[in-house]
Structures are given as C-alpha cells and as structure tokens.
Amino acid sequence: MIGVIITILLVAILCAKFYKNAYIRPGENFPPGPPSLPVYGAYWIVLLKQINNLGGSMRKIAREYRTKIVGLYLGPYATIVIDDSKLIKEGLFHEDFDGRLDIIVARLRSYWKKLGIFFTDGYFWHVQRRFSLRYMRDYGFGRREESLEAVVANETKEMIDMAKNGPKYPVEHEMVKGDLIYMQHFFAVPFINGMIHIFARTTLPRSEYKVLFDLAREVLLFQRGTNDFGGAITLTPWLKDLMPGYSGYRDMRRGNQALLDFFDKVIKQALATHDETFDRHFLDVYIRKWKEEEHTVKRTTFSEDQLQLVCTDYMFPAATGVQAVLSLLVERLLLHPEVQDKIHEEIDRVVGRDRLPTLDDRRNMPYTEACIREIMRYEPLVPLGVPHRAMKATKFAGYDIPEHCVVSFNYLSLHHDKEIWGDPENFRPERFIENGQLQVSKDKSLPFGAGKRLCAGETYARQSMFQVFSGFMQAFTVSTADGKPLKKPMRKIQGIITTLPEFWVRVTPRY
C-alpha cells in the first residue's frame, strides 16, 4: 500500500513538473505559442502539424494562436517565428536580429570553429563579407561581366549537346539515357563552373565533369541532412554519436567535406603559384590580404581555413540551390504545358534558334523571367529561412525578445499572402507582367531574403538561371519520362532547402 502511494506521489510530482515546464516562457511579454514537450519542446508539435512542410506547419500554428508572431521553445532555444508579411520585412531589417546561431550544423562544416560567412556574425562576419563581395565583384559576382557570361553560355551549350547528341564521357551516361535527362543534377555544371571561374579564373572541361557532378551529389547530401526528423540534430547534438546515420550527421559531414576537399586543392594550387605583384583572380586577392595581415594584425580574420569556408559558403547555393529552383520549375512545366508553350513562343520571337539567349535578351523576355520569379515565389526554397539570432534583448512588434532568441521568418506566409497576391495558390507568371513588360515592382517576394543578411549571390543566381533556363528551353520540349501527363506535384523533400526527389524527364529537340 505504501509503495502504491509513493508511486502515485512520484507520478503526480512528475506531471506537475511536466505541466510547469510545458508552459514556461522566457518572459511575461513573449509571443504566444504552443507548449513545450520533453527534449524537443514544441518541435514535436511543429512536426505533427505538417512534417514535410515546416513553413505550412508554422502557418497553422500562427492561425491556431491567432498571432502574427509565434513564440515557442525548439529544444532549449527560445524561438520566434514571424508569420506576417509586413513584420517579416520589418524584422529582416531589424539590426538586433542579424546574429547567427552557434549550432552543430555550423561547426561541423568549419573544422569545429566559427568560420565562413553564412553562420558567423559580428565583426568577423562584417569584415569577411565586405571584403569578399568587394573583390569577387571584380570577377563578375554581383554584376554583369563578359567573361563570366561567356562561361555560363559555353557550359549551357555543353549541357544541351549532352542531351541532344548523347554522352561523350562515362559520367554523362548517369545524366542522359537516350532522350531522358536526370534531374536534379543535370543543371549543375553551368552554375558550379561559373563560381569556379569567379574564384580562380578557370573552369573544369567537359572531360572532368565527373568531379562537378560528384560535387553536386555530395553537397545535396548536406542540404538534405536535416530532412524531416533530421532537424533534431540541431536541438540534440549528441545524436551525431548515437545515431550518425538517421540523424543526418553522416550525410552532412560527408557532403560538406566534399566541398572543403575540393577547395583545399584549388587554394593550394593558387598558393603554389601565387605572385604578390599580380592578382590573377579572387583567390590571389584574398591570399595577398591574408599574408599582409598575418604579420601586421594581432587578431586577423584572414586565414587559409577561412578562405576555404568563404569559397564553400558561396558555392553551396550554386551547387544545389539554383538547380533545385530550375528542377521545381521543370516540374511546373510538366503540370502546366501551356506555360511551356508561352516560353517557346517568346524565345522564338525574341531570339530565334540560331544563337543562345543572352542577358541582353532578358529585358525582352518578360514571360521567361516571370516564370523564374514565380517558381521562387510559389515554392520558397528555404521556407523558414536560415535562422537569425537576437544579438541583444530587444522589443519587436510590442513583444519582449530575449537575447540569443532564435528568429525565423516564414517566407511561405509572405509568398502566399492573399492580400498581396490575390490567388497565391495558382502558379501564374503573368502576375508580374503588365502591358507586355515585366514589372519588378509587382514582385513582393523575398526568395533571397533582405536586409544585411540578404543572400549575397542574388544577382549571380538570377542572371545565371535566366541564361541556363532560357537556353535549355530554346533547345527542348520537356515531358514526363513515361509520356503520361503529370497530374499532381511530387512530394517535396524538406531539408535545409526544399528539393524534389531525383526524377527523369523526356526532352525532345526543337531544332
């Protein structure tokens, strides 16, 4: 009898403690949100609402609590998710929200140090971002540059030739089989070689495409490493030792290491041939600055490891993000063949078939450009963005936001706001066109973010996507591999970015 009473008391104490912890808040004036459950806090509830669509899940929670800002605990992290279009834009420009989280995903990719640009903040981030953007711009990153445009055009020609005339090298048989091409990675080479050109003023020839295709595969492993339940590794890092495979740690480590190893070779080659009197490329500029500060600055932010991470950070979106966008767009063409017909009509009318489309044609091809903008609105690549961190306690939208609070922005809510778009559930490129002209002012989407944390590769991504996609569509008509109409969208894979499962597409030459 005494044992039963003791058991009941222990259960009651545990229930009371659980209830108390479930509703603990970092302050009285913290935004409303779901309770915290053991270990992962409200992350359980977020997954339960919609496991493979975290942006959609947060929209449901915001509506349930009738709030524009959801406050919750994700594991040990006090977190706010901004779910209102106006407040998203305001928060992106809030200077107190420019921090980044010191989490395992950031550490494992940078030798367990705080390196790179993507996951750093403060003085270190400011110096490295400003320097890299200032000098990468000289080699075509962030502006239009003739040699870079020529590289992307040449790689697009090779891509078209591979699909039209068949593989020339063994690795290409993995991308092309008869009149079928393999998505995601078919589009990889123009974007990756474009970035290599910016860094080192060189590219890998078609005979070495295996290196680039392998790189694209490996980097995608990292991007998908936090797929579904895999996000738990951020909240419970010890899973990397207990469940390295299931937690996504093994794939993230492998994918990131592939990029580090690649740039280790590129940088060592640049170092071996470096001439302090002449800058051949961005790597030379960085090496010269690093060598200067090595002897003159007590705590320099420049180093060989940091240069590796700078290159890695800028390459990640090029190796996976932009080709993921084009894969999503190809899926839309399969769902809406009439969109493909309009693209073909515009290309034939403006460019013809005797030359590739160029960036000069972009202003005269509003529909093609609008399709690229619309897919980035319709399918946000990173629905909740890369999490920010409150660098100090602050006020926002009437709430108290504690120091180190995680700040996320629900871009899905912004991109599917009926007050802005009218019919956001429809894929309709025409929404950006008026009187036959592209109206950039009508594009209220923020696929690259905004504020100081704006994606530095926006210009490169927009320009190169236009070149590659318009060249591809000039050459081919796309259809499903089995010839049957695609009736519904494929299931998305939600990792760090949103991707489609690998699939084959039939391409029919147009000339």
Sign of CA dihedral 319, 320, 325, 328: positive
Supply 138's token pair: 């000289």
- The one-letter amino acid code at 25 reads R
Of residues 78, 116, 115, the one with CA closest to residue 389: 78
Using a 10 angstrom Cβ sphere, with 0-12 exposed, 13-18 middle and 19 or more buried, the burial of residue 267 is buried
Of residues 502, 95, 171, the one with CA closest to residue 323: 502
Q: 354-362, long-range: CB within 8 Å, 24+ apart, which pairs? A: 356/153, 356/156, 356/157, 356/467, 356/470, 356/471, 356/474, 357/466, 357/467, 357/470, 357/471, 357/474, 358/149, 358/153, 358/467, 359/144, 359/149, 359/463, 359/466, 359/467, 361/470, 362/463, 362/466
How many Å apart are CA 261 and CA 181, to the nearest integer?
28
In contact, 307 and 283? CB cutoff 8 Å: yes
How many Å apart are CA 219 and CA 239, to the nearest integer?
21
Beta-carbon contacts of residue 312 (< 8 Å; ≥ 6 apart): 109, 116, 256, 259, 260, 263
With vertex at residue 110, the alpha carbon angle to CA 106 and CA 114, rounded to the nearest 5 degrees, is 70
* Residue 455 labeled ligand binder: yes
Total residues found in the chain within this entry: 511
Supply 268's token pair: 């060592």
Beta-carbon contacts of residue 341 (< 8 Å; ≥ 6 apart): none
> What separation in angstroms does the CA of 463 have from each of 191, 292, 422?
10, 34, 28
- The one-letter amino acid code at 178 reads G
Residues 123, 125, 127, 130, Cα dihedral to 10°: -140
| Sequence ranges of the binding site | 455
| Sequence ranges of the binding site for heme | 455
